[in-house]
């Protein structure tokens, strides 16, 4: 089955599950995908997978597909020296 933009594909292996959203088929037998959820990969990351690998994945019913991942919470970073209660010498 030819991958279509916007389609969600699932890969299950070794007790894990990965979900990818098809961005677009590329030249040279590659497909650009967005990670929705996959062990060890950042949600939202773009990857190029082979068309054969994508073809081997299950097509997920759009009603079951999760929405785009939320933006991660921004945590302010502390800059400068750490403050301590002990006086400096």
Task: Tell me what pLDDT residue 17 has.
Answer: 93
Which pTM does this prediction carry?
Answer: 0.69
Q: Say yes or no to pLDDT of 83 above 50.
A: no
Task: Tell me what pLDDT residue 3 has.
Answer: 87
Residue 36 or 89, more confident: 36
| Cβ count within 10 A of residue 42 | 9
Task: Tell me what pLDDT residue 84 has.
Answer: 46
Confidence class of residue 61 from pLDDT cuts 50, 70 and 90? confident
CA 77 from chain centre, in angstroms, equals: 25
Of 9, 3, 7, 19, nearest in space to 69 by CA: 19
57 CB-contact burial (10 Å; exposed 0-12 / middle 13-18 / buried 19+): buried
């Amino acid at each position: 089955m030819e991958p279509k933009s916007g389609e969600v594909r699932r890969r299950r292996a070794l007790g894990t599950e990965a979900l990818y959203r098809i961005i677009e088929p590329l030249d040279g037998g590659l497909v650009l995908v967005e990670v929705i959820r996959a062990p060890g990969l950042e949600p939202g990351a773009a990857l190029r997978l082979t068309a054969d690998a994508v073809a081997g994945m299950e097509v997920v019913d759009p009603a079951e597909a999760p929405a785009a991942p939320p933006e991660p919470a921004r945590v302010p970073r502390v800059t400068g020296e750490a403050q301590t209660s002990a006086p400096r010498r």
